Structure 1
Amino acid sequence: MFLKALYDTIMITVFVFAMMLVIEYINVQTRGKWEKIIGRRRFGQYLVGALLGAVPGCLGSFTAVALYSHNILSLGALVTTMIATMGDETFVIMAMAPRKALLVITALFFISIPFGWLTDLLIGKRANKFFKCECMEVHGEHCECFKREYVIPQLKQLSLERFLLLLISIVSILLVVFGVIGPEKWNWVRITILFVLFVATFIILTVPDHFLKEHMWEHVLKNHIPKIILWTFGALVLVELIVNRLNLDSWIQSSKLIVLLIACLIGLIPESGPHLIFVTLYVSGTIPLSILLASSIVQDGHGALPLLAHSRKIFLLVKLINFIAGISVGGILLLNGL
């Protein structure tokens, strides 16, 4: 049991690590350009909010909070982002079950937009008096992340961080190629994982030392990866115990409304890890899509933490709206057998 969970954890972490490097790279390269992307029409804001939520990880949510704090996004557009996001669990479900991941991400995208519109219609203007948009600063950091004349000198004077990241990346590629982790046979999943790993390796090879240390080493590797390893391994072991050892599968099947309520309550926690339990239960077929969607609608990973730091009232309001949306959508889908 523990060995299988360990192998699955390594595979998931490798993919998440590579994807986070790529997303971090793209985020820094495009920083400061979000305002140009957002249209002036209100529907355009909901669309952008849903797209930000669909970005794997919490970067899209952080961006939405920053834009909302500058009156660029409406409250409804912020709610749209928080409903559409799954936080770091997006990476995990993409690694475990890509087809199911696409279904969940697409469903959240289309569910989030009408709830964002309803939020602005019913309470958008009244909520403005609770939040003064003056605190948060959108940093315009720019990184020239690929300069040919710097690549060779950087490799000749290899820093410890770059060496270790390259080692992790190359070993991960070899493990996937030889089927130690991931799919045992060559298929599109293995090819996708390898493609992401090769892109991540290219980024590690070429970015400046500052970007590598601040964004890849300090932010991705030291901040996110340990939590993902612990929560993923813990969730996989817990699911194994629930399904095969404690025989709770039959209780879950007969108590879906209770499980739905528990999933939404856990979704209120501003942390990515606990939601992994429902991701793994869904992938294993123990819970239906409706419960995972309800949990995903309510939870927003770490995405809302910057909002909590600046306005507890708006944070609680967004959480309440998402809870109502999660219970409503999950309940309707569950009653219809989904």
Structure 2
Amino acid sequence: MTASSHTLGALPAALGIGVEDALDVLVFSVRDGFVQVSAFVAVTVLVFSYVQYRTDGRIVTYLENNERMQPLAGALLGLTPGCGGAIIAMPLYIRGTVSFGTVVAALAATAGDSAFVILALAPEAALYAYGLAFVAAVLFGYAIDLWGLGIGRVDAAVRRIGRPVTDGGFRTRSVAAGGPSVPDFEGGAHAEHGDGDSADTRMVTLTHGVHVLWWVVAVAGLLAGVTYLVRGAPDVPLTVGLTFAGVFTVAGLTGTLASFYLHFVGRHYIGAGAAGRIRDDFTSAYATFQHAAMETSMVTVWVIAAYLIYEYSIAVFGIEIAAIAASVGVLAPVGGALLGLIPGCAPQIVFAEIYAEGGLPFSALAANAVSQDGDALFPLLAIDAKAAVVATIYTTIPALVVGVALHYLWPHAQFGFGVI
């Protein structure tokens, strides 16, 4: 054995975890993340995309033409698991066709990609948390449109962030005085890659093949995931075969590998399905499947990262998150609300995973559910940074109210792993 291999073997042991245990954490996280979360993500994203395809984008048209229904419709879009629904509301605000209250309602109701973790591992908690987020989002969205709720003061406090991060360098007017100054913006939100950045048609063919394989294992993973929940979330051995455990393992490992390929490599060759793009409609049924696969592959990357961060933190540092959360009291929901200020889904996925493991009170989960904006904030940040900052501040306010109220009124609520 070489000196370098001695070093590699000694490092995990020095950190309190052996090489074999470290590999077990890696393999089981890679497998379980796809079956327990990603397979369910795929179905939800596909359904939403297919509805858009079959209706020729009439959901968007409805939002534009019904002003009184906008905050309610925005909250309904945000309530859909993942960020796809809320993302649709952002360009409509940029175009000047929906209100700022609609934006806040959509962001407040957004469960983000962490919703898939809770839906898969603690569905009863998802019902309560996202139900509360929806009610808070609707009420707060209408309140902003009707009474303002001090938007002008918050707007003034972030006025220095007045130049959106765009090539054109548009300047925006006051949010309180009428919203964005770029109502004609259509831009990169609808932009797609071409047929591929490379002329290598073999890579395009290969990527389409991986995409088809991805759906085959996603269906197998969904069946295994449903069976897993029905059986009460048992320990599943790592094995290969036509048994439940074998399908669970093969689907999980293959699905994750295919997801990583599609996210890091495949998107350059079948860019029409690129993740993080706002889609009013789709050109074909195949495009809806491709878009759903790309979106879910991105979620898979974050979910696996979250699983590994959590599991290695527990194994290496011996962190007792449940004890920490119990000791901080009301600061737990406050922390959940403040964490939601961070754009994107990665921190929220980790947060949801910790809750599913019994490490956080329900009040913290509910506060985070209201506060987090997921990936939906990124399009708004790119075009109107000031409006995005104001919006994310305003989603934190009802989050704090909901979280603190639950802490004092329902202190022992806890809906753990697999509760249905």
Do the aligned partners of 1:74 and 1:120 also contact (CA within 8 Å) in 2? yes
Report the AA paired with residue 160 of structure 1.
L
Whole-angstrom CA distance in 1 between matches of 2:99 and 2:285? 37
Instruction: Provide the residue aligned with 1:151 in structure 2.
Output: none
Larger radius of gyration: 2
Specify the alignment match of 1:100 in structure 2.
125
Match of 2:295 in 1: 220
- Residue by residue over 1:91-135, the C-alpha shift from the partner in whole angstroms, topping out at 9 and shown as x without a partner, is 232222233222222221111111112222332885134521425
2:375 corresponds to which of 302, 308, 311 = 302
More helix by share: 1
Structure 2's unaligned 5+ residue stretches are 1-23, 153-175, 191-203, 234-243, 245-254, 256-272, 274-282, 414-420
Q: Which residue matches 2:305? A: 231
Give secondary structure in 2 for the equivalent of 1:329: helix
Summarize the Cα distance change of 1:7–1:213 in structure 2 as closer, same or farther, 3 Å threshold.
closer
Secondary structure, aligned partner of 2:330: helix
8 Å contact from structure 1 (residues 21, 220) kept in 2: no
How many angstroms does 1:290 deviate by? 1.4
Q: Any residues of structure 2 matched to 1:54-133 within 5 Å, and which? A: 54-123=79-148, 127-129=176-178, 131-133=180-182
Could you tell me how far apart the structure 1 residues matched to 2:141 and 2:384 are?
19
* Selected match of 1:287 from 360, 377, 398: 360
**Distance in 2 between the 1:289 and 1:77 partners?**
27
- Closer, same or farther: CA 210–14 of 1 in aligned 2, 3 Å: closer
Q: In 2, distance between residues paired with 1:14 and 1:239?
A: 25
Between the aligned partners of 2:292 and 2:321, the Cα distance in structure 1 is 40
Structure-2 residue corresponding to 1:247: 320
Report how many residues are paired: 305
Pick aligned residue for 1:170 from 186, 199, 216: 216
In the alignment, structure 1 segments of 5+ residues that lack a partner are 142-157, 191-196, 198-203
Partner of 1:137: 186
Show CA shifts across 1:68-113 (max 9, x none).
Answer: 2223221111111100001122223222223322222222111111
- 1:65–1:307 CA contact under 8 A, matched in 2: yes
For the 8 Å contact 2:368–2:399, the answer to whether it is kept is yes
Residue 214 of structure 1 and its aligned partner are, at CA, apart by 6.4
SS in 2 for 1:286: coil
Q: RMSD across aligned C-alpha pairs, in angstroms?
A: 3.7
Aligned match of 2:347: 274
Quote the offset at 1:171 in angstroms.
3.0
Q: What is the identity percentage for the equivalent residue pairs of Structure 1 and Structure 2?
A: 24
Q: Determine the C-alpha separation between the residues in 2 that align with 1:271 and 1:39.
A: 26
Q: Which amino acid aligns with 2:370?
A: I
Mean CA deviation greater in 165-174 or 71-80: 165-174
**Helix, strand or coil for the counterpart of 1:80?**
helix
Q: Distance in 1 between matches of 2:402 and 2:385?
A: 25
Deviation at 1:255, TM superposition (A): 0.6
> In the aligned structure 2, how far is the partner of 1:40 from the partner of 1:54?
21
